[in-house]
Chain A
Amino acid sequence: MTCEAARRQFDLYLYGELQFGEEEVVERHVEECASCREELSRCRSLHHAMDALESVPPAGLLQASRREFWSRVSRERVAPVGIVARIWSWVSRVTASPAFMRPVGAVALLAVGFMGARAWDSAKSKSEQPVLHVRSVVPDASGGFRLVLDEVRQRTVTGRLDDARIQGMILSAAAGSTDPMLRASSMDALKDHCERADVRKVLLTAMRQDPNFSVRLKAIEGLKPFARDPETRRALSEAVLSDDHPSVRTMAIDLLAGDRENAVIGVLQELMLRESNPDIRQKSLKALRASNASPSTF
């Protein structure tokens, strides 16, 4: 192998992208050639220098991105789906179908157009009827669609939390409502029932994904009695490292403080590296000292 050929392979060698045989040839050449050895060492230094330049997304960006995404998804889900959107969904489906299905799709679209024109007037005359909200449209195996509809009909129900029906409704409001006030009051109602796995699941999801920080705080508060539960501890650790609201990070540290688990200590040490809020840094430092742990990982 010539020096030039060996040097062309150095980057792929360092990335571990060479075949076993190719790697052997490069290594043998480098063992025998001092100048290539030096060149490989320079390449390695360059790779290390590049490693150090990786820009890490700031704490909170992932959580903020997730929250915005789920909030957009929930807006899309609850938005009333008009006739145009429904037809467009059909068009997308047809254009994505195998070629042999497309003529069938074209005939179906013509039929939709014809029926749509006829239905237009009758739809207008029925406009006083309650509007249905389409929650989801899922194609089924027969080529049709399965639609889940929300019908808006107001009524009052009363009951205690030990009533499964009442608890189910509150769980649903806590997890699915677009109104943050309603989600927060539902969290309040559920917080004394954390012994139930489904309640904990809703609170954990809210802690991780809810776009409103007050709701996230309520969820953390509700999970207090389960702070030592592994899943809760994981969610609290995530909040400590990536929630964009300082109150949430502070409350999560409070719940994790005193836990001498290595993983928790590691989270607090990691926080010391990335946290810029002095109060939170102080709190984390205090928690680490209480656990007889150092503030850094060395």
Chain B
Amino acid sequence: MVTGKGQALSAMMAASPVATEEADLVRAAQRGEQDAFTALISTCDQGVLRLAHNLLKNEQDAFDIYQETFLRVFRSLHVFRFDCSFRTWVYRIATNLCLDYLRKRKVRKEESSLVNTGQGEVLDRTAVVAEENPNLDPQRSLLSAELRDAVERVLGELTPRERLVFEMRHYQGLRLRAIGEVLGTTEEAAKNCLFRATQKMRLALGDFI
């Protein structure tokens, strides 16, 4: 549960003195001030990288999403019109890129990723295993490998949109309203999407808990 994180992040995304400061930075960056642009990027780049890494479970893909997101930001900043917050705009770019990656990966997976090893074993070539440091979190090492596999499996079965909403709500701690804004939809639609995702997971993982 990440309600604490959620409140903090949502507060950052809401209109506030922070938002005013952000708008000032955007204007300065649009005038070509390098320091302002650097400050803007550093407000959200860690979140974007974490989102991409957790969603795609692949270091190289997360790195690529980071580059593509912020290069688009750099090239299009002069047309940013303050229709939403800068952070929301950046997340919108990043999530669209992540969705494309997930969709392509799903298509590839449906097409030809399952290979027979010839020894009665079927391997999924596109399945990626998250790099794990056993020292990182003792709780993680206690979690049974079986449950972890089951979670990976059910996450892979979610639609890209469900996966993204779940990721943003559970791990990034974004409020549903903010998620709706990022995805260009309503809070209600984001809520339904999250509901479908958690239902699928509860059904699939019910026996483990």
Contact = CB atoms under 8 A, between A and B. Distances in A.
B6 A68 contact: no
Interface stretch (B53-61, B86-94, B104-112, B114-122): B53-61
A52 B7 CA distance: 20
A66 B45 contact: yes
A196 B137 CA distance: 42
A15 B49 contact: no
A138 B1 contact: no
Contacts of A136: 32
A64 B63 contact: yes
B136 A16 contact: no
A44 B1 contact: yes
B53 A61 contact: yes
B102 interface: no
Contacts of A51: 1-2, 139, 170
A52 B143 CA distance: 8
B62 A61 contact: yes
Interface in B50-84: 50, 53-54, 57, 59, 62-63, 66-67, 70-71, 74-75, 78-79
A12 B165 CA distance: 13
Instruction: Tell me whether chain B's interface is mostly helix, strand or loop, or mixed.
Output: helix
Contacts of B194: 11-12, 15
B1 A14 contact: yes
B45 A11 contact: no
A57 B148 contact: no
B63 A61 contact: yes
Given A61-B59, A68-B63, A72-B71, A52 B46 contact: no
Contacts of A16: 3, 6-7
Chain A contact-residue range equals 35 or more
A48 B3 CA distance: 12
A48 B177 CA distance: 23
Interface string A16-51: 110000000000000000000000001111111111
Interface string B8-50: 0000000000000000000000111000001001000110011
B79 A65 contact: no
B105 to A, nearest CB: 16
A52 B3 contact: no
Interface residues of B, number: 57
A96 interface: yes
A11 B209 contact: no
B163 interface: no
A218 to B, nearest CB: 20
B205 A46 contact: yes
A57 B50 contact: yes
B140 A61 contact: no
A62 B70 CA distance: 13
Interface string A114-158: 000000000000000000000010110000001010000000000
20 contacts: A14-B3, A15-B194, A16-B3, A45-B209, A46-B201, A49-B147, A51-B1, A52-B140, A53-B140, A55-B54, A55-B130, A56-B53, A61-B53, A93-B79, A138-B78, A273-B135, A273-B136, A274-B133, A274-B135, A276-B133
Interface of A: 8, 11-12, 14-17, 42-58, 61-62, 64-66, 68-69, 72-73, 76, 92-93, 96, 136, 138-139, 146, 148, 205, 209, 272-274, 276
The 9 closest A-B pairs by CB, nearest first: A55-B130, A16-B3, A65-B66, A11-B198, A96-B79, A57-B53, A52-B139, A138-B32, A47-B1
